[in-house]
């Protein structure tokens, strides 16, 4: 932090008799020149010290100014809770979580991933966990219609693009948005990505904080499992969402969709632009023919960003929709509870990731989708 300083001008008057450029007798001119020189020297030294501190600050990771983040982060977090738990729960909302935990420097004590191809011909999910200069980033890209090529590209590029945006402007929400926008533009510009796309979810834990920011685009999700409950960090958006249904209605020039789609109970069956040919998520990277549909926005690249606070011992679970669609929440909580008393030091995350993937195969039912789970424990 750079401390403020003021430069106080000389108290001498502006008359010719007191001006340093006028000739004065008895050595007064020399004394005044020395005084002014000393003052300038002190000012220059002060500036040099502050410039050095500024340069050092640019390369030293520090906590982000959380109070400067957009109010929408809190609003989105509360939306995620309401949407997942189907009720207003203000006592476990953003405000309580933000106040109940003392600040600490959160680190990922251990992490592990597990995957299963499910009923698909190829694995199109690409998980990632990367340490950048400003903190830790973890997430998953769930590709579709291109054998996972775009998902691989996004998972590879996002961490460095995100870090670059944070360095330019330390605003997490804007960094998420700009990094996604940049990657999407690159994907659309490349011929090898003519078809297909990927959903996206990622969490960012800044160094020296216990804050977690999560950006969601599509239907992959990240949740915190704490004690015997879960805290959703993702606002999942598909065509059942009223805003997305309205956007589709405009793009397809069919006003009725704005009312019909939000009432459809089978959200996975709602597809844009056509019921038998299209995409069932309203947000993704790529999908060139669905993103710009006849000059109008179809599939969006605007992510939903949330902000929450971590507690020591929290378990973060990152999952593609193949996990959340086929594994009931009560069974996920039960698996977590059963493993808490086992070897937490080394095998917890690997056993948990494997067990969570296994839950999707309950009753010998093969999931139609790829299943990816990334688990991490906070210390």
Write the CB contacts of 206 (distance below 8 Å, at least 6 apart in sequence): 61, 63, 64, 134, 135, 172, 213
Report the distance separating Cα 55 and Cα 343, nearest Å.
45
**Do 55 and 87 fall into the same domain?**
no
User: Quick check: 320 pLDDT over 70?
Assistant: yes
**Do 207 and 225 fall into the same domain?**
yes
Residue 246 lies in a domain: no
Mark which of 60, 81, 107 sits at the end of a domain.
Answer: 60
pLDDT tens column, 276-290: 889 999 999 999 999
- Report, as an integer, the average pLDDT of 16-33: 41
**Do 168 and 309 fall into the same domain?**
yes
Residue 201 lies in a domain: yes
**Do 28 and 136 fall into the same domain?**
no
> Which residues form the domain of 30?
1-60
**Do 12 and 78 fall into the same domain?**
no
Q: Residue 330, exposed/middle/buried by CB under 10 A (0-12, 13-18, 19+)?
A: exposed
**Do 16 and 131 fall into the same domain?**
no
User: Quick check: 135 pLDDT over 50?
Assistant: yes
**Do 4 and 71 fall into the same domain?**
no
Residue 272 lies in a domain: no
CATH number, residue 220: 3.60.40.10
**CB 365, CB 333: distance < 8 Å:** no
Nearest Cα neighbor of 151 from 162, 138, 141 is: 141
Lowest-confidence pick of 39-48, 208-217, 229-238: 39-48
**Do 30 and 131 fall into the same domain?**
no
Nearest Cα neighbor of 212 from 285, 139, 126 is: 139
Going by pLDDT thresholds of 50, 70 and 90, the confidence category of residue 25 is: very low
Residue 266 lies in a domain: no
Report the distance separating Cα 164 and Cα 10, nearest Å.
45
User: Quick check: 68 pLDDT over 70?
Assistant: no
Domain count, the chain: 2
Q: Give the pLDDT score at 109.
A: 66
pLDDT tens column, 152-207: 999 999 999 999 999 998 899 999 999 999 999 999 999 999 999 999 999 999 99
pTM: 0.80
Stated length of the chain:
379
**Do 143 and 16 fall into the same domain?**
no
Residue 242 lies in a domain: no
**Do 4 and 151 fall into the same domain?**
no
Report the distance separating Cα 347 and Cα 87, nearest Å.
35
**Do 372 and 317 fall into the same domain?**
yes
**CB 272, CB 287: distance < 8 Å:** no
Report the distance separating Cα 242 and Cα 263, nearest Å.
9
Mark which of 60, 95, 110 sits at the end of a domain.
Answer: 60
How many C-alpha atoms does 270 have within 13 Å on its Cβ side?
24
Nearest Cα neighbor of 81 from 72, 91, 71 is: 91
Q: Which residues are registered as beta bridge partners of 315?
A: 225, 377
Radius of gyration of the chain (CA): 27
**Do 202 and 108 fall into the same domain?**
yes
Nearest Cα neighbor of 121 from 146, 104, 141, 100 is: 146
Mark which of 60, 80, 105 sits at the end of a domain.
Answer: 60
Residue 271 lies in a domain: no
Q: Give the pLDDT score at 164.
A: 97
Residue 104 lies in a domain: yes
Angle between helices 149-168 and 172-189 (to 10 degrees): 140
User: β-strand 371-378 against 315-319: which pairing, if any?
Assistant: antiparallel
User: Quick check: 338 pLDDT over 90?
Assistant: no
User: Where are the alpha helices (H) located in 195-273, listed in sequence order?
Assistant: 242-252, 257-260
CA-CA-CA-CA dihedral for 127, 128, 129, 130, to nearest 10: 180
Residue 243 lies in a domain: no
Going by pLDDT thresholds of 50, 70 and 90, the confidence category of residue 342 is: low
């Amino acid at each position: 932090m750079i401390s403020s300083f003021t430069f106080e001008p000389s108290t001498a008057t502006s008359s010719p008799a007191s001006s340093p450029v006028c000739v004065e007798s008895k050595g007064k001119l020399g004394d005044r020149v020395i005084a002014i020189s000393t003052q300038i020297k002190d000012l220059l030294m002060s500036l040099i010290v502050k410039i050095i501190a500024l340069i050092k600050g640019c390369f030293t990771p520090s906590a982000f100014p959380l109070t400067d983040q957009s109010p929408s982060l809190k609003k989105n977090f509360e939306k995620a809770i309401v949407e997942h738990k189907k009720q207003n729960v203000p006592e476990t909302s953003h405000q309580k979580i933000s106040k109940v935990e003392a600040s600490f420097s959160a680190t990922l004590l251990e992490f592990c991933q597990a995957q299963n191809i499910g009923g698909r011909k190829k694995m199109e999910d690409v998980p990632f966990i990367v340490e950048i200069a400003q903190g830790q980033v973890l997430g998953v890209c769930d590709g579709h219609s291109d054998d996972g090529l775009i998902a691989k590209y996004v998972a590879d590029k996002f961490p460095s693009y995100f870090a670059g945006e944070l360095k330019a402007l330390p605003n997490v929400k804007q960094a998420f948005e700009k990094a996604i926008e940049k990657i999407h533009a690159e994907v659309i510009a490349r011929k090898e990505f003519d078809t297909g796309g990927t959903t996206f979810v990622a969490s960012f834990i800044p160094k020296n904080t216990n804050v977690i920011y999560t950006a969601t685009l599509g239907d992959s999700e990240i949740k915190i499992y704490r004690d015997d409950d879960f805290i959703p960090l993702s606002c999942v958006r598909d065509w059942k969402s009223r805003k997305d249904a309205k956007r589709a209605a405009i793009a397809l020039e069919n006003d009725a969709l704005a009312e019909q789609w939000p009432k459809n109970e089978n959200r996975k069956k709602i597809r844009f632009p056509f019921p038998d040919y299209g995409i069932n998520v309203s947000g993704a990277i790529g999908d060139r023919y669905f993103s710009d549909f006849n000059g109008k926005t179809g599939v969006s690249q605007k992510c939903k960003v949330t902000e929450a606070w971590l507690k020591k011992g929290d378990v973060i679970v990152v999952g593609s929709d193949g996990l959340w669609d086929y594994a009931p929440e009560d069974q996920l909580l039960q698996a977590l509870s059963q493993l808490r008393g086992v070897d937490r030091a080394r095998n917890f995350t690997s056993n948990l990731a494997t067990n969570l993937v296994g839950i999707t195969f309950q009753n010998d039912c093969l999931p139609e989708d790829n299943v990816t789970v990334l688990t991490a424990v906070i210390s």
